[in-house]
Chains A and B, each alone.
Chain A
Amino acid sequence: MIRTRDLRMSFDTGRGRRRRPVDAVRGIDLDVDRGEIVGLLGPNGAGKTTTLRILSTLLRPTSGTVEVCGHDVRTAPREVRRRLGYVAQGGSTSRRARCGDEATDRGMLYGLTRRAARERAHDLFDRLDLGDLWERPTGSLSGGQRRRLEIATALVHRPELVVLDEPTTGLDPQSRANLWDHIRDLRESHGTTVLVTTHYLDEADALSDRLVVVDHGSVVADGTSDALKADLDGDVLTVRLADPSEAGRAALCLRAVLGHAFSPTDDGTLTGPLHAGSGGLAVVVRELDRHDLAVVGLDVRRPTLDDVFLTLTGRSLRDAAA
């Protein structure tokens, strides 16, 4: 459904003497099969939106090949546009317009008759719980409703592939979970292929069959979330001390027994990997006890995508996104 090879995009930023090229995308190979839900994950500025805009024919890539829905975005953009639904980050409807009109008009731009567009839009409104908002101006909707409306307007022409750019940014947790259900439902009921960008790890984890992690314009990992986590050696250990001021001493002690650094925090917790074959928890507990370090909490968990991201990019996704 999507196939890119060595996709590159550079912009000129600034004018005159300050003009300099910025490489937003530096050689991305992306493959998405029919019916897949793929999450494109990365911090702000990683090149996610640029990649999506190239796939949607809004931007012409500097170099590389890009095939979407079986057509080259450069030579057959109209064929690509017919088959693609694009849900932009910033919305696509006029605040003054009525919801139903926006969805109907959008469908008609894809060659549908008014009647067909209206019928399909009504259908989508029902499915996306927008049923009674048909006559309302889009400016009066809540954040979650607005986002569902954006998705509805992008689906009226029944695209084979839907790309969504950070669809849940700024939504409350309930609306996010609700939107995930709707996105999954797209595949279940129509076999639609979905490419979604996000910088929420839980979202990528819950929603996608496969994750593509990008950073600084290149792919740094590609696989299922389980496979990416399995690549991380071992579990994650968190130790909570009774006395936060002892964190420094505890870090030294953990280093001595496990052989690698733990990062202490001000509230007296230390987090780091617990590799298989390092003697396990028992050694840690014994060592801390021997140094009279009172422990109030010990936690060993499977790594999360956050840990994966930290390992891949050297940064926490949350920091990077802030």
Chain B
Amino acid sequence: MQLLRDATVVFRRQVRLNLRNPAWVLLGVAQPILYLVLFAPLLGPIATQIGVENAYTFFVPGLVVQMGLFGALYVGFGLLAEWREGVLEAERVSPASRGALLLGRLGRDVLQLGIQCLVLVGAGYAFGMDAPWSGALAGVGLALLLGAAGSALSNAVALRTRSEEIMAPLVNVVTMPVLLLSGILLPMTLGPGWLRSVSDVMPVRYVVDAVRSAFAGDLAVPAVGIGLAVTGTLLVLGLTAGVLAFRREDT
């Protein structure tokens, strides 16, 4: 299977490069840990008011999705750096399949996000999160699928815009409403009706709900199925956009 073979070559190169510079892998996990340390304690006293028993059990799943998705949305900047170095062009004059160039990089992103999520979940348990292991792993798995979709999309946008200056505000424009309207920080059920309606059209909200259900140990509820379907759709869209972008010749 040439696709997988080529993707492995790309993947190993990318992982090797990341290992040579582990600082920003750690930086990626620093932000959620800060949320966990500095924001979650605020939720403690009002936990019963917002309808949760354990603030960490509520908050860690949201952070897992945030890290999975937001971390992935920034990978396009790395791709632009590679493009400037001519690496991308060199890979494109090789007979390697175009899909493999994307898949190898997605593999690297998922691996990195996976490690970051596990660190975060470990920290959550240390703080007293109450969640079954199996549920937490399933939740992380779902967040990683969303991350793969985000990473593919970010690569596609990077290749289309070819400009950090266009890409930076674009990523911001996407992340802000997603953060506010997906119930990552607080449950959307707290809000007035109109806010809830707006959040209903935010796909990531369903993923957050699903990951939260998984962490609560409820894997056989509709929320998980809906979240999985939404994630699957986003993944297909992201992969399509990504492969098309890698296939497209550059001018």
CB-based contact B85/A94 at 8 Å = yes
Query: B211-251 CB contact bits vs A (8 Å, 1 = yes)?
Result: 00000000000000000000000000000000000000111
Most buried by A among B16, B94, B249: B94
B249 and A59 within 8 A (CB): yes
> Are B13 and A92 in touch, CB under 8 angstroms?
no
A94 to chain B: which residues have CB within 8 Å?
17, 82, 85, 87
Q: A88-B89, A93-B85 are in contact. Are A109 and B251 (CB under 8 A)?
A: no
Taking CB atoms, residues of chain A closer than 8 Å to B6 are 109
Contact A58 B86 (CB under 8 A): no
Which chain B residues numbered 80 to 131 have a C-beta less than 8 Å away from chain A? 82, 85-87, 89-96
Complex interface: chain B residues within 8 A of A101 (CB): 13, 16
Q: Check: B21 CB closer than 8 A to any chain A CB.
A: yes
Given the interface pairs A91-B85, A94-B85, A96-B20, the reply to whether A81 lies near B90 with Cβ below 8 Å is no
What is the CA–CA distance of A97 and B21 in the complex, to the nearest angstrom? 10
Taking CB atoms and an 8 Å cut-off, the chain A residues in 102-157 that contact chain B are 105-106, 108-111, 153-154
CA–CA, A56 and B16, complex, Å = 28
CB proximity of B201 to chain A, nearest CB, Å: 31
Question: Interface size for chain A: under 10, 10 to 19, 20 to 34, or 35 or more residues?
Answer: 20 to 34
Instruction: Quote the shortest CB–CB distance from A12 to chain B (angstroms).
Output: 8
Contacts of A97 in B (CB 8 A): 13, 16-17, 20
- Name the prevailing secondary structure of the A interface residues: loop
Contacts of B90 in A (CB 8 A): 86, 88, 92-93, 106, 153-154
Residue of A whose beta carbon sits closest to that of B9: A108
Q: Which residues of A contact B87 (CB under 8 A)?
A: 92-94
Which residues on A sit within 8 Å (CB–CB) of B85? 91-95
Q: Which residue of B lies closest to A78 (CB)?
A: B95
A105 to B87, CA, bound (A): 11
Q: Is A2 an interface residue (CB 8 A)?
A: no
- Bound CA–CA A94/B20 (angstroms): 12
Assembly CA distance A90 to B20 (angstroms): 23
Please determine whether A84 and B13 come into contact, CB atoms closer than 8 angstroms: no
What residues of chain B lie closer than 8 Å to A105, measured between beta carbons? 9, 12-13
CB-based contact B21/A96 at 8 Å: yes
Contacts of B17 in A (CB 8 A): 94, 96-97
B95 touches A58 (CB 8 A): no
Q: Which residues of A contact B89 (CB under 8 A)?
A: 58, 88, 92
Contact B16 A84 (CB under 8 A): no
- 18 CB contacts below 8 A, A to B, read A58-B89, A58-B249, A58-B250, A59-B249, A88-B90, A90-B86, A91-B85, A93-B87, A93-B90, A94-B82, A97-B16, A97-B17, A97-B20, A101-B13, A101-B16, A105-B12, A109-B9, A153-B90
Other 14 A-B pairs with CB < 8 A, given A59-B249, A105-B13: A11-B251, A57-B93, A86-B90, A93-B85, A93-B90, A94-B17, A94-B82, A94-B87, A95-B85, A97-B20, A105-B12, A106-B90, A106-B94, A111-B95
